[in-house]
Structure 1
Amino acid sequence: MARHSGASVLGRRLRVGRCGPGTSLRTVPRRVTTITNDWPAGSARALSAGTKRDDVLDEVEGPDGTFQQHLGPFHHYLRTVATDPDGTVHETVQYGLYLPWFGIIFRWPMRRALRHPRTPGSPSPWWAPPDKLTARQTSALALLAAAAMSAAFANTLFTQTSTFAADGFHASDRMLGASGAIVRVGVVIALPFAYLADRMGRRRTIVLLAWLTPLFCALGALSPSFWVLTGSQTIARPLGLALSMLATVAAAEDMPRNSRAYALSLLAMASGMGAGVAVAALKLADFGDNGWRLVYLISLIWLPIAVSLGRHLDETRRFETVHRMSPPLNRRRLGMVALVALTSNLFIAPASYFQNNYLDKVRGYSAGGIALFTLAVGTPASLGLIIGGRMSDVIGRRKIIAICTPLSAACLVAAFFAAGSAMWFIALGGGFTAAMAYPAFAVYRSEMFPTGNRGMANGLINTTALLAGSLGILLVGVLRDHGSSYGSVMAFLGLGQLAAAWVAFRHYPETAHLELEQLNPEDPTIVSAD
């Protein structure tokens, strides 16, 4: 069965009728910024001002001698160049960039890039994608990153607060481990939303989840017992996982071929910001036995993002294009990606879940100390996401996986043996290299499957990953109750990371520089409307 939404079929090639790559159906705020430059006569900048630039955008010269955007992220762009009789060159750049929620972060680097153009033919700045994004793609990526923040807060909330809630309810380590496993088993709740996204669209499902996730998280503040808290977050966390998963699917579908890993790295950085809010809020847990409840109430701050998504997020072009509904699922690809998710999460999930318990019970850190450690180690390490995402798009995913995954596993295991400042530096190294590998791993989950079942395939893979994480958490909880040290248990589970890297390097295809339709020939090729 095929889906049609404003597209006309030309053989195997399709023309999108509703919106081209640089347009949007939704109202976009029109804020315009002006930059003026004066260049002395004969200077290098004066001589190059009259040439078209090709760094953060591609320019085209208009009939009146002005330069306009041919391809780039701006909803408005105009550059004029005037020369005085003495040879002084006056350049004026007017541009409008719509980046909801993240405009303040990119405002200065974009302004600097426009004021100081790069040499023609040079690669884009390190913070920018390898490809030039359109205004539609830029705003969509920012909105999806905002959704990722909300999702990450939900995904981090129980992990960060469970130790303090367990103390308040006098729960044992075994109960703590069991609750972590139960919450992760709840990932099956995400599967119906993955199915809905393949049927009724990415946008509508993402908006629905953006409302449901913070509301269910906030219910945890009212829990009368540890098991009721576990039950509420068994629903809330899978909603956040589904939101995060579909945000990555939508980003992969809308990004150009050389920037998919970069886009996922930005979503992961935004996720780090959302998780950072949960970590920073841990200080509230020091306010008595019930201080942790305040952290759950903070979930409501993410509701404005749901409003923003509902107003401004467009459906992905690939979903809007005619495509086959429910194509056969490639079982070999699904099994291969699921195996990597399984082996890696046997280590990653318990290492993350028990980190706070380790710092609390073994190293004697307070809630504030744990928050400081997590932010101090995690924030610098997040730069690895941008570096790893860009390198994955430039030199390939498999090389990044093969180099970074063993290094990250070794460092993260060593952090459970070390103490003092050594623990901080080793954990930082492990987090940085793990962050570099993440975009390369994550992008395969969307690239390896066609539009008609991309959401469901991601749901099944994420379910596998979460169930494996639950198994790892249960195992650590049982072994800890029998006297095993955190270090020895994590060293054993860390072998799963090495297995994941080997499978990915040996058996994954290299997908960098290829369109999704080249990787999935059953999908039609998209031709943008002019």
Structure 2
Amino acid sequence: MTARFTRNDRRITTLMVVAGFVQAFAGSLLVVTLAFSRPDLELSQGDASWILAIIRLGSFTAVAYGIWGDRLGRRRPLLAAFLTLLAANLATALTSGVIAFTFFQAVARAASGAVAALAVVYLAEEVSPRIRSFTMGIWGVAGSLAGGLAFLLAPLFELPPNRWRWLFGLSVIGIVFFPLLARFLRESRAFHMPVVTSPVASVLTGDSGRYFWPLALAGMAVGAFSGPAVSFASDYLINDLNWSVLSSSLTIISAGALGATGLLIGGRAADRFGRKPVMVLGMALGAGGGAAFYWQPGPALVAWIVVGSFGSSIFVPAISAMRSELFPTRNRVVAGSLLSAMSVTGAIIGLGFGRLTIDSWGLPTTITVLAVVAAAAIPLILLLPETRGAVLHHEGSRVETSAPDTIQVFAPSD
């Protein structure tokens, strides 16, 4: 597999892995510290669900980064979002109170989403088509390792009650990688200055709109389920099942690591067999495993973590590749940002639904209802064209070669 990587493939993959690791570690802390921050901020699970929903509203401002990226280039907004994420986490560490926590984490959420969206576009536009989804799997593995590291460090910041803020401050260490990104990250070869049009309108209507809305609605359904399911996993083990912080962290890390093998398996499968079948399988396994986890108070829940994690993991590289391949260069970053915003909208709806139901129905029932919604969105994926091998630029030029209605496909030689 290594022989398939060109020098440029290795360069851009390495840079995006570095950016993705820092972004995933810093961005995961909101969920990783929830079991500590929620009692310290004197919030019930229902109240916490509402606060998490408000924080996710910040993701909508990531569209501004997307417009910037499509109008003036990918490089500068990625670097700016990288710095903003670390600054917002530092502010979270240095301030107190629910309002400050909510505000700065909303800023961090927007910046984290922008870094992720721009990293995916960089990989889509710079990496060889035959390994595009696989490299996105590698990028996803970096994010998974970063999240695992955050969970591994969490027990060290359990007591006293406000020590969880130190973990947010620790994420600022990621600034040491900024000079590397600033020096070696060049502008995407596929980018060219577009004709001035409304980038948002061009995504929502016309040919792009035919692909945007099925993806957006499916993303909303998945987000409505994954938002509460992921956010409350550690809190559920610690505060509902009375697991220790160490046991909870080690379980999530070990089982999640097994499931995260799906990032590479899913990436390779999406490059060989297509994006759509991998996405459908991932949605089914993710919803089923995620819901079953909340109904298993014993050791069997570990198996369901693996199933749910594997499903969501194989989904990530396939959807990341497809959402870049369906849209032309002139609005690719905006499309990705809008799709992320729609997924966040789903998470907000799911968390808002949880605010109304968790305290009365219980967490397992609430998560199960939302899992059914996610699974019901699978037919929307089947409405989309297959994009495996779409060519996004000519080697050595900045000329766009792929548009929604004229996707050029590279036929893998294997």
TM-score normalised per structure 1? 0.71
Taking a change above 3 Å as real, the CA distance of residues 514 and 523 of structure 1, as seen in their structure-2 partners, is closer
Does the 8 A contact of 1:325 with 1:453 survive in 2? no
Q: Deviations over 1:152-204 (max 9, x none)?
A: 12321112213311211322223211110011011122111111111221112
Q: Percent identity?
A: 25
Corresponding residue for residue 485 of structure 1 = 362
Q: How many residues align?
A: 394
Corresponding residue for residue 390 of structure 1 = 268
Corresponding residue for residue 72 of structure 2 = 200
Taking a change above 3 Å as real, the CA distance of residues 488 and 172 of structure 1, as seen in their structure-2 partners, is closer
Counterpart amino acid of residue 175 in structure 1: D
Corresponding residue for residue 225 of structure 1 = 97
2:308 aligned with 1:402: no
Cα distance, 1:324 vs structure 2: 5.0
SS for the counterpart of 1:290 is helix
Comparing 310-319 with 401-410, which one deviates more in the overlay? Answer: 401-410
2:315 aligned with 1:443: no
Taking a change above 3 Å as real, the CA distance of residues 159 and 346 of structure 1, as seen in their structure-2 partners, is same
Corresponding residue for residue 286 of structure 1 = 158
2:372 aligned with 1:495: yes
2:202 aligned with 1:347: no
Does the 8 A contact of 1:408 with 1:432 survive in 2? yes
| Pair member with larger Rg | 1
How far apart, in 2, do the equivalents of 1:523 and 1:493 lie? 34
Cα distance, 1:457 vs structure 2: 0.9
Corresponding residue for residue 119 of structure 1 = none
Corresponding residue for residue 455 of structure 1 = 333
2:259 aligned with 1:381: yes
Counterpart amino acid of residue 230 in structure 2: S
Cα distance, 1:325 vs structure 2: 5.4
Aligned ranges 1:362-373 → 2 under 5 Å: 362-373=240-251
Does the 8 A contact of 2:325 with 2:390 survive in 1? no
SS for the counterpart of 2:223 is helix
Counterpart amino acid of residue 369 in structure 2: F
Cα distance, 1:405 vs structure 2: 2.2
How far apart, in 1, do the equivalents of 2:355 and 2:31 lie? 14
Counterpart amino acid of residue 158 in structure 1: L
2:131 aligned with 1:262: no
Does the 8 A contact of 1:401 with 1:441 survive in 2? yes
Taking a change above 3 Å as real, the CA distance of residues 227 and 365 of structure 1, as seen in their structure-2 partners, is farther
How far apart, in 1, do the equivalents of 2:193 and 2:239 lie? 56
SS for the counterpart of 2:130 is coil
Corresponding residue for residue 336 of structure 1 = 214
SS for the counterpart of 1:170 is coil
Does the 8 A contact of 1:323 with 1:523 survive in 2? no
Aligned ranges 1:19-58 → 2 under 5 Å: 56-57=2-3
How far apart, in 2, do the equivalents of 1:403 and 1:225 lie? 42
Which residue of 154, 174, 185 corresponds with 2:46? 174
Counterpart amino acid of residue 341 in structure 2: T
Q: Of Structure 1 and Structure 2, which has the larger fraction of its residues in helix?
A: 2
Cα distance, 1:239 vs structure 2: 0.6
Corresponding residue for residue 151 of structure 1 = 23
TM-score normalised per structure 2? 0.90
Aligned ranges 1:231-310 → 2 under 5 Å: 231-310=103-182
Q: Deviations over 1:56-98 (max 9, x none)?
A: 44xxxxxxxxxxxxxxxxxxxxxxxxxxxxxxxxxxxxxxxxx
Q: Of Structure 1 and Structure 2, which has the larger fraction of its residues in strand?
A: 1
SS for the counterpart of 1:258 is helix
Q: Deviations over 1:318-339 (max 9, x none)?
A: 01x5765547332121112111
Does the 8 A contact of 2:30 with 2:105 survive in 1? yes
Where structure 2 has 5 or more consecutive residues not aligned to the other structure, the ranges are 393-400, 410-414
Does the 8 A contact of 1:210 with 1:305 survive in 2? no
How far apart, in 2, do the equivalents of 1:425 and 1:455 lie? 37
SS for the counterpart of 1:317 is coil
